[in-house]
A = this chain, B = another copy of it.
Amino acid sequence: MIRFENDYTEGTHKRILQRLIETNEEQTPGYGMDEHCENARAYIQKACDAENADVHFLVGGTQTNTTIIASILRPHQGAVSAVSGHIAVHETGAIEATGHKVLTLPSEDGKIQAVQVKELYDAHWNDVTHEHMVQPGLVYISNPTENGTTYSKAELEALSQVCRECELPLVLDGARLGYGLAAKDSDLTLTDIAKLCDVFYIGGTKMGALFGEAVVITNETLKKDFRYFIKQRGGLLAKGRLLGIQFETLFEDGLYNEISEHAVEMAMIIREAFVKSGFSLRYDSTSNQQFPILPDHVISELSKKYSFSFWEKVDATNSAVRFCTSWATKKEHVEMLINDVKHIALKI
């Protein structure tokens, strides 16, 4: 079975593994107070051109979203999100478990636009009984989105501007951030994101690390006491060095970008193969997740050799599925896949 079901099917990039081996016997203080974490913080600040940003390391995505959001909101406030946002759908109510509603906005492609945020904000404050409703307290987006789409710089600038006007911190979930930035049609950089968002995180788990997410807080007022929140939400890793070592490796000389580009290149080959074979795509994704719509018998056929995710039924005989690439995707597997797709398509 060749796995394209997600971007965390393998262990870690060999350079990270090597570094873990080399440092294994070092003695370090716990909880992220070690030198590797210090180095990693400095590399990330530099990569973001944000010297004053606070950088913290957590273990996984749900934990990171929960910790960030719960640190920002007051109890009567909610997080504005696309209806398809990870926090709205796939975190078992982790946000609600901290007491907060997710206020959803409709979205066809996983993105939300500045005008939607403004309308929701105005609708709340123009309602004379607004205290009977959850107050919007922050805006949560992902880049790339759950659907593989990415924000343009113009879109993010518009969102950022509305958020600042409305005093709503803008939080960006970057679980797959590298893959989004590496998308051919993306004109965003880490520096842009650091400038336009109040808090965001740079995903490691899906980007070549064993695990780990690097939170970057650029908004001064949101920095206070963040380590308490990490601890309370169970994210303060005893051997914090493990996070430091991994992000050090990813950011000291461009490995993060290298990984991102490889995955996106592989994804584009897959995309092209499906399109050339006459299949349509559920979303116009330019990052590492591809969502072809396939006849159910083709899905069955491909499933014998490849694992990938069922996404949704499209009609009586067709469904959308998801293929993911990653830092670990092998060129020969991709070639095998596109050959098989081509042959199957010819038989239809």
Known contacts A232-B93, A234-B234, A238-B205, A29 near B5 by CB under 8 Å = yes
Partner-binding segment picked from A19-27, A110-118, A150-158, A257-265: A19-27
Q: Determine whether the beta carbon of A229 is less than 8 Å from that of B75.
A: yes
Q: Determine whether the beta carbon of A131 is less than 8 Å from that of B225.
A: yes
Tell me if A's interface is mostly helix, strand, loop or mixed: loop
Expressed in whole angstroms, the Cα–Cα distance for A89 and B132 within the complex equals: 8
Q: Determine whether the beta carbon of B9 is less than 8 Å from that of A29.
A: yes
Expressed in whole angstroms, the Cα–Cα distance for A92 and B239 within the complex equals: 18
Is A227 among interface residues, defined by CB-CB distance under 8 A? Answer: yes
Known contacts A26-B10, A228-B76, A238 near B96 by CB under 8 Å = no
A103 vs chain B, min Cβ distance (A): 9
Is A231 among interface residues, defined by CB-CB distance under 8 A? Answer: yes
- Give the residues in chain B near A236, CB-CB below 8 Å: 60, 62, 131-132
A side interface size, CB within 8 A = 77
Interface residues as binary, A1-25 with B (CB distance below 8 Å gives 1, 0 otherwise): 1110110111110100100110111
Known contacts A76-B229, A132-B91, A10 near B24 by CB under 8 Å = yes
Is A163 among interface residues, defined by CB-CB distance under 8 A? Answer: no
Is A331 among interface residues, defined by CB-CB distance under 8 A? Answer: no
The contact of A76 among B27, B66, B102, B232, by CB within 8 Å, is B232
Expressed in whole angstroms, the Cα–Cα distance for A70 and B77 within the complex equals: 13
Give 11 pairs: A residue, B residue, CB < 8 Å, sorted on A: A10-B25, A11-B24, A12-B24, A59-B237, A76-B225, A76-B229, A92-B132, A93-B99, A96-B101, A97-B98, A210-B242
